[in-house]
């Protein structure tokens, strides 16, 4: 049986972290899987529960970079690791350097966003082109964009994120207060300033006609800036900020519309969550969002930073209960058909078999 390692920096709330656990869980049905987490002190139990009652072997590290690299080298050699998947830049670095040194035949990096900082771009390109045997991208847009920036296109392979669908289709009652939800980290990429400007416009247009509430769920360095902007726009009456709650699923359940203003993405896990809870979506068409949100079918796509257009689309959904229900139904159908764990597992297994015959040191 093949021995596979999956490397992830942390298991804090995030899309890459959840996908790494889905991969570990699904591959453990056929292979010996070793999940390596670089920072033992940054593990959330709610994520770890994903691999509860599985055969995944867990390796949690707590040392500095050099010590971790030595320990990982030991794991690779003692467990005869034949295949590595890594998620995010620091894990790709270890995959490249330690995997290469340990002569692991198949070393597959992971790129989750279409846009990288200049520093990350330089190093990720070097890893991809010279030390890794391949790279998995979760979006076609990332592969296309990075291939134009010097990444060897033939070494890319696209496998979309998966979703563990555990909910039934939801038909919501018409509520007096329509709830609009955003879920993501509080970072520049998510462009919450545009989201708040949009809500300000929406408040001016319809708040006297029908009440709505905008709920922001997440955590991150821009929390204080977001709170200050809410005050300056005078929208505190209709905006609530919730920091990293344990009951995040309840917010999806209780909402009526999902809203995403990202400037760039790979394949958005928060949008997938929204679809699983039968929510219509207003989002920017970044990354591979177009595979999740079909314009006019289960939501609307708006150009980044276009707060006027976003406000107009949100207004339509806030005012039209029947349209929300039609789009909600379509959201659930799209997710349940195209993004299952079974499809995810099959695509990865086919990729493993293909690389296993190709990657010879």
Summarize pLDDT for 35-68 with one digit per residue, the tens: 999 999 999 998 999 999 999 999 999 989 999 9
CA distance 65 to 285: 37
Taking the CB of residue 236, how many other CB atoms lie within 10 A of it? 11
Helix (H), strand (E) counts: the chain: 13, 13
Q: List, in order, residues 6 or more apart from 247 with CB less than 8 Å away.
A: none
- Give the model's pLDDT for residue 360: 60
CA distance 303 to 327: 20
Question: 170-208: per-residue pLDDT in tens?
Answer: 999 998 999 999 999 999 999 999 999 999 999 999 977
Low pLDDT (below 70) residues in the chain: 360-361
Under 8 Å between Cβ of 192 and 186: yes
Q: How far is CA 118 from CA 36, 115, 125, 161, 176, in A?
A: 27, 9, 11, 25, 47
Burial of 88-120, coded b for 16+ CB within 10 Å and e otherwise, reads bbbbbbbbbbbbbebebbbbbbbbbbbbbeeee
- Give the model's pLDDT for residue 204: 94
- Give the model's pLDDT for residue 114: 77
Evaluate the CA torsion angle 347, 350, 352, 355 in order and state its sign.
Answer: negative
- Give the model's pLDDT for residue 13: 77
- On the CB side of 138, CA atoms within 13 Å amount to 28
Place of tokens 């300000």: 200
């Amino acid at each position: 049986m093949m021995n596979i390692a999956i490397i992830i920096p942390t298991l804090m709330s995030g899309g890459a972290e959840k996908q790494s656990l889905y991969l570990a869980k699904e591959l453990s049905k056929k292979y010996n899987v070793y999940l390596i987490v670089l920072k033992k002190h940054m593990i959330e139990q709610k994520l770890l529960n994903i691999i509860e009652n599985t055969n995944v072997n867990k390796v949690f590290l707590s040392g500095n970079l050099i010590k971790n690299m030595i320990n990982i080298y030991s794991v690779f050699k003692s467990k005869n690791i034949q295949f590595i998947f890594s998620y995010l830049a620091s894990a790709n670095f270890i995959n490249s350097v330690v995997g290469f040194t340990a002569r692991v035949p198949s070393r597959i990096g992971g790129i989750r966003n279409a846009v990288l900082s200049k520093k990350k771009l330089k190093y990720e390109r070097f890893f991809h082109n010279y030390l890794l045997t391949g790279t998995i991208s979760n979006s076609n847009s990332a592969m296309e964009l990075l291939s134009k920036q010097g990444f060897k296109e033939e070494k890319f392979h696209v496998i979309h994120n998966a979703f563990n669908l555990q909910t039934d289709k939801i038909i919501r009652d018409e509520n007096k207060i329509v709830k609009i939800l955003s879920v993501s980290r509080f970072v520049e990429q998510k462009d919450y300033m545009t989201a708040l400007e949009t809500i300000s416009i929406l408040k001016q247009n319809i708040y006297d006609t029908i009440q709505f509430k905008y709920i922001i769920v997440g955590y991150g360095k821009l929390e204080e800036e977001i709170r200050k902007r809410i005050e300056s726009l005078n929208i505190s009456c209709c905006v609530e900020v919730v920091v990293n709650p344990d009951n995040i699923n309840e917010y999806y359940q209780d909402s009526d519309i999902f809203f995403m203003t990202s400037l760039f993405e790979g394949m958005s896990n928060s949008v997938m969550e929204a679809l699983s809870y039968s929510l219509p979506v207003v989002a920017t068409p970044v990354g591979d969002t177009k595979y999740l949100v079909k314009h006019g079918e289960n939501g609307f796509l708006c150009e980044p930073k276009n707060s006027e257009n976003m406000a107009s689309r949100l207004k339509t959904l806030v005012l039209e209960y029947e349209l929300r229900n039609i789009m909600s139904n379509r959201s659930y159908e799209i997710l349940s058909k195209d993004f299952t764990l079974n499809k995810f597992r099959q695509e990865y297994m086919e990729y493993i078999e293909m690389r296993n015959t190709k990657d010879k040191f």
